Amino acid sequence: MSKPDPDAVRETFTRVAHRYDLANHLLSGGIDFTWRRKLVQLANRTSCAQILDLATGSGDVAFALQHGLSSNPTITGLDFCEPMLVQARKKRAQLNLNTEQHPFVEGDCLDLPFSDQHFDLVTISFGLRNLADREKGLSEIYRVLKPNGRVIVLEFSQPYWWFRPFYYFYLKFILPWFARFVTGDREAYLYLGTSIENFPNRVELSKELEEVGFKKVSAKALTFSIVSLHHGHKV
């Protein structure tokens, strides 16, 4: 199985950045809002002063955290696709949020531009499967977390066996054509289907988190297991 090509992934997201949010909401039937709420609920279990949202894209998860957390943390969003960050900064301006408390920076998840033990919480949503080296990315997350810090991974997974035929039919034959209508780019969403099909299930991804050092790893299946919410601790 070939690994994602960073340049190709960046080009893909560059092409769809201007309509990325609309496509997400329509193609998921709006259930992406529920998935983000589940992530925020999990994040709210402990107070966090410094949060890093990786593969932040247009900032949807970062803004959901800002709106939903009981604490008032600094939330840094990082992505390697500048056109996606442009969309995030536009939203930040519309919400009148402080740029110092809600920075959006361009960077590489495999070589994070932060010191060791800097963040209380790191989140990554629908970005882990796009990394060329998943082990390196998870190790970087572990490095920048403080002791007792947490990671939350929201990612596509393998659906329950009985739902799998319907789901992959949708991914391969319906979603790309619908996406072409919404974004004008069918190829970007063909990649989405392939990347999901090749990604580990929640048990396998939990093991990968444990292998880089995370403890108390848990995984919850959402929406017939097409998505999983992983949670781990740095002890």
Residue 99 lies in a domain: yes
Q: In the chain, how many domains are there?
A: 1
**At 211, is the secondary structure helix, strand, or coil?**
helix
Residue 111 lies in a domain: yes
The two structure tokens encoding residue 143: 């490095």
Residue 178 lies in a domain: no
Residue 165 lies in a domain: no
CATH of the domain at 16: 3.40.50.150
Residue 226 lies in a domain: yes
Residue 174 lies in a domain: no
Residue 37 lies in a domain: yes
**At 50, is the secondary structure helix, strand, or coil?**
strand
Per-residue CA distances from 85 to 14, 129, 142 (Å)? 10, 19, 24
Range of the domain at 142: 6-160+200-233
pTM, entire model = 0.95
Give the model's pLDDT for residue 77.
98
Instruction: Please tell me the distance from the alpha carbon of residue 216 to that of residue 46, in angstroms, as a whole number.
Output: 15
Residue 193 lies in a domain: no
Give 10-residue mean pLDDT values along the chain (235 residues): 84 87 86 97 96 97 96 96 97 96 98 98 97 97 98 97 94 84 78 87 97 98 97 97
Give the model's pLDDT for residue 87.
97
Q: How far is CA 116 from the centre of its chain?
A: 21
What residues are paired with 79 via a beta bridge?
A: 106
